[in-house]
Structure 1
Amino acid sequence: MDARPDSLPVKERDTPCRSVAGPTLGILDGMARSTEPSTKAVKEPGRLKQMWQVFQMTRRYDSSAVWIILLALLLPILLGVLLGVLLGNGNGFVIALWILVGVMAGLVTGLAVLSRRAERAAYGQIAGQPGAVGAVLRSGLRGTWTGGEMPVAVNGKTQDAVYRAVGRGGVVLISEGPAGRTKRMLEDERRKISRILPNVPVTFVNVGPDADAVPLHRVPRELARTKKVLTKAEVLAVKNRLASLNTSLPIPKGVDPFKVRPQRSR
């Protein structure tokens, strides 16, 4: 008498299902475990690895930086050894102390030079691109100088722009583009500032393709060279007055965002 599937005991009918489900669940568990590390956040590189990456980037765009950094690193060390020999009088502890001071000074000097050369190399990569001056004003200013990443005036056709920085030297307007095309924009902005701040000096700085233009990496230094005529309290007051100046960029003709009607759904 042939055995039909319906006549099989319940235990025998369940056995094949377990044999298939077991390996399948095991594979799924393995897949879950294998994908689990990929979902974890990628660890940030350590400090030494970051410094090495910065050095590689700097060397790629500035080959002379390697020798300058080595010179800044080795000169203090050699000076420490020399002072230890001359002033130590044969005392090993004093000599070692001077050498240690030289090593520490060399590391500090080398890192400072690396930072400056890396900053210069980074600015060199974005020089000539629209918005490059804004990047410098956002992260490269020192002291009391502050500036906005967004320009205060833009020519939509040529992409020339004017940026503004405020510090103890007064107000500095920085043009991005050829001097001949940005001169009128600079004068317009100076007239706006003179209406509300008649006694604050306004200086022009041009960053562009002209021969006498200021290189991008020298913009912070150019600002620092301006004569200090304001106190810190006056700088804050100037910033507050300039905040009230309307610096909204012009809207293209033919587009009025306040009159745009939403499309009806069909």
Structure 2
Amino acid sequence: MAARSSAPEKSPGFFSQIRTLYTFTQKEFRWLPYLLGGILLLGVAVGVGIGFLIPPVAIWSVILWGITGLMLGVLASMMTMTRLSTRAMYKKIDGMPGATGHVLSTSLGRSWQASEMPVGINPKTQEAVYRAVGKGGVVIVGEGARGRLTRLVNDERSKVQRVASGVPVTVLYVGHGDGEGEVTIAKLASTIKSLPKKIDRTTQAAVVKRIDSVSQSLTSLPIPKGIDPTKARAPRPR
């Protein structure tokens, strides 16, 4: 007798996601409940105030404007909590091995192609190099002690320049933004996306194909431990 197939796991509902998002963010920002409550009250106050200012003043008009203000307050509080959850996520993963790959694979959008896996890694020290290809050319990102990243970065840059001559290569290092070419993990995605457009989609696809054709498989190399993207990423309501 064939075993029964397990039922598909249900995705969390909207309110469940909101609760998870709130819990995740409130752990980092203890004052979150007061901020959200203030935004809601401000929305209601603005709505009621508009109701009294627009003639003719009637109780039903004030109530409707108050409800409208409440809805706007809910929307504003959701937007605020989403932004704070992103900040909380960056603070949580800052300095963790593998954080760079997580950001590159989830925050660059469709204009860039990047993998969560590093393209170069030192198994002993966990220094790693990641690569992204997009409208700004090729971006090589080093994660770890900058002094020990020199060889890994130079090897990756030489490989890219060999197979994609003429395509600009930008080197960044994840840190605290103190040195040249150094950016914080929170500003990594925005820094890459702000690069001026240098290549079109056709060239981008060709560059990705050429680089992948000469890249060595990293399946036998250990993955940096210390970050679980499914847990570190701030949950977002759908």
Query: TM-score of the superposition, structure 1-length normalised?
Result: 0.66
Whichever residue aligns with residue 191 of structure 2, its letter is E
Q: How far apart are 1:109 and its partner, in Å?
A: 2.8
Whichever residue aligns with residue 200 of structure 1, its letter is V
Q: Deviations along 1:38-96, whole A, 9 cap, x unmatched? A: x9888665321321122112111223544554555555554444444444553667655
Alignment of 1:199-238 (within 5 A): 199-208=166-175, 211-212=178-179, 213-238=182-207
Q: Are 2:208 and 1:239 equivalent residues in the alignment?
A: yes
Q: Deviations along 1:120-148, whole A, 9 cap, x unmatched? A: 32332232222111122222323412310
CA separation in 1, counterparts of 2:123 and 2:47?
A: 58
Corresponding residue to 2:115 among 139, 148, 168: 148
Q: For structure 2, which runs of at least 5 residues remain unmatched after alignment?
A: 1-5, 222-238
Alignment of 1:1-266 (within 5 A): 45-70=12-37, 73=40, 75-87=42-54, 89-90=56-57, 98-208=65-175, 211-212=178-179, 213-249=182-218
Q: Deviations along 1:206-231, whole A, 9 cap, x unmatched? A: 11367444222322222222122233
> Are 1:88 and 1:95, in contact at CA under 8 Å, matched by a contact in 2?
no
CA separation in 2, counterparts of 1:241 and 1:81?
A: 62
Q: Percent identity?
A: 35
Whichever residue aligns with residue 100 of structure 2, its letter is V
Query: Secondary structure at 1:244's aligned position in 2?
Result: helix
Query: TM-score of the superposition, structure 2-length normalised?
Result: 0.72
Q: How far apart are 1:181 and its partner, in Å?
A: 1.9
Identify which of structures 1 and 2 has the higher relative contact order when contacts are C-alpha pairs closer than 8 Å and 6+ apart: 2
Q: Deviations along 1:88-107, whole A, 9 cap, x unmatched? A: 55366765565454433333
Which structure is larger by alpha-carbon Rg, 1 or 2? 1
Q: Which has the higher helix share?
A: 1
Whichever residue aligns with residue 215 of structure 1, its letter is T
